[in-house]
Amino acid sequence: MHIETAAEGWSEAAPTGVLVLADGTVIWGTGVGATGKAVAEVCFNTAMTGYQEILTDPSYAGQIITFTFPHIGNVGVNDEDIEVVNAARAAGVRGCVLKTDITEPSNYRALKPFSRWLEARGIIGLTGIDTRALTNLIREKGMPNAVIAHSPDGVFDLDALKAEAAAWPGLEGLDLAREVTAGQTYGWDETVWVWDKGFGRQEAPKYKVVAIDYGVKRNILRLLADRGCAVTVVPATATTEEVLAHKPDGVFLSNGPGDPAATGEYAVPVIRDLVATGLPVFGICLGHQMLGIALGGQTVKMHQGHHGANHPVKDYTTGKVEITSMNHGFALDRDSLPDSVEETHVSLFDGSNCGVRLKDKPVFSVQYHPEASPGPRDSHYLFDRFVGFIADHKKAG
């Protein structure tokens, strides 16, 4: 990694991008995408594919993504691989760090080059970075706060950037769900993508599900609709009365960014009320963490977090191991959970909690992203489990 100097081979022109860490480390690169600067937490993602889905996942709000796979952008972008529900909304992610230069797209689905797409969505990018060295730094020291900047003239006020990075408080205590949640309630009926057919529509739903949007992804809603659910999406700040007014057969707690304890100040009381009704409840990611708090547990900030599409998780309820897609920097502390809560899933990378369920009610959650996009489909069974709980609950009347 080149610190305080331009990278090798840049004798003809000054670097046009820089990443300044809170400890004063300066990493030079070539700026791409949007110009300007943004302050955020730097994480690394180990997925080899799906960069467009990753960069439009609202769970990445407040973060700069370092891609460990070197070739990012080589298949361009399209209109189908966007995960934020409102395609016109700016991505929650604040920047991306890449190893190699972005090439012209080489894929029949590509509609525009990746660099132009980054610029249009307001995402600052850097290329020419030693991402292996940066990843090792994160592993050793944790996820740093930093400022990412792109200026075509190569002029940067490093002292000001260092001060801004050092002054940023970080993700702990930040409620970012308010920044990415829906502005109003809406219905969803689009189903999953099928080869040579595209996306379908759910025209004969059997169940009504309310999804609380803390930063929900499109593919989550598609998988629910695909399994016979008429989905109503409500904002993160929806009250218990507003949720129950839709007479749901089940409630889904979505993924999202930021500190679960901060968002939980207004979300956890609602979740507790919904659990008390006896309705089936299914949470993922931020929804999992806040459900854990609602059930009596606590969350902790992780050293480097989990970000990638190759994370092995064991499901204690089946005895099987699944490869999962993850994106989180906070985790549920298993030692804080009361006896009424059972741990159901665990990470085989570091042993951290990845799932819980309530012993006496149809309430469960997982830390990872079972909808993938990008990632393997090993965990789609969890949506079947949720719908099964709904069917059983309706039969029991």
Task: List the CATH number of the domain containing 216.
Answer: 3.40.50.880
Contact 329, 170 (CB under 8 A): no
Instruction: Let me know: does 235 contact 246? Beta carbons within 8 Å.
Output: no
Stretches in the chain below the pLDDT threshold 70: 1-13
Residues 22 and 148 in one domain: yes
| Residue 10 lies inside a defined structural domain of this protein | no
The per-residue pLDDT for 92 is 86
Question: Domain end: 167, 202, 234, which one?
Answer: 167
For residue 146, give Cα distances in angstroms to 103, 167, 175, 249: 26, 10, 19, 44
pLDDT of residue 77: 97
The pLDDT, as a whole number, for residue 300 is 98
Residue-level pLDDT at 210: 99
Q: Which of 119, 144, 167 is the last residue of a domain?
A: 167
Please report whether residue 12 resides in a domain: no
Question: Is 83 among the catalytic positions?
Answer: no
pLDDT of residue 5: 36
CATH of the domain at 44: 3.50.30.20
285 belongs to the catalytic site: yes
Q: Is residue 4 part of a domain?
A: no
42 located within any domain = yes
Residues 209 and 151 both lie in one domain: no
Report the C-alpha dihedral over residues 130, 136, 141, 144, rounded to 10 degrees: 40
pLDDT at 13: 61
Confidence (pLDDT) at 379: 97
Q: Which of residues 113, 135, 167 is at a domain's end?
A: 167
The whole-angstrom separation of Cα 276 and Cα 274 is 5
201 domain-assigned: yes
Distance CA 97, CA 29 (A): 9
Q: What is the pTM of this model?
A: 0.96
pLDDT of residue 87: 79
Same domain, 244 and 387: yes
Same domain assignment for residues 190 and 322? yes
Rounded to whole angstroms, how far apart are CA atoms 72 and 127? 10
DSSP 7: P
Residue 371 known to be catalytic = yes
CB 330 within 8 A of CB 300: yes
Q: Are residues 257 and 361 in the same domain?
A: yes
Structurally, the chain folds into a number of domains equal to 2
My answer on whether 370 and 221 are in the same domain is: yes
Catalytic residue among 285, 288, 306, 322: 285
Is 356 found in the same domain as 211? yes
Do 97 and 209 lie in a common domain? Answer: no
pLDDT at 11: 35
Q: Residue 177, by phi and psi: left (phi above 0), alpha (psi -120 to 50) or beta?
A: alpha
Is 3 inside any structural domain?
no
Pairing of strands 145-150, 124-127: unpaired
Which pLDDT score is estimated for 7? 38
**What's the CA gap between 3 and 29, in Å, rounded?**
10
Find the domain containing 391 and state its range.
Answer: 177-396
Closest among 115, 132, 133 to 124, alpha carbons compared: 115
Catalytic residue selected from 41, 53, 164, 371: 371
| pLDDT at residue number 215 | 97
d(Cα 53, Cα 50) in Å, to the nearest integer? 5
User: 6 lies in a domain?
Assistant: no
- Asked whether residue 39 falls in the same domain as residue 158, the answer is yes
| Assigned domain for 44 exists | yes
Residues 134 and 247 reside in one and the same domain: no
Question: Are 108 and 251 part of one and the same domain?
Answer: no
From CA 327, how far away is CA 366, in angstroms rounded?
12
CA distance 393 to 207: 11
- For residues 256 and 226, membership in a common domain is answered with yes
How far is 118 from 125, CA to CA, in rounded Å?
Answer: 7
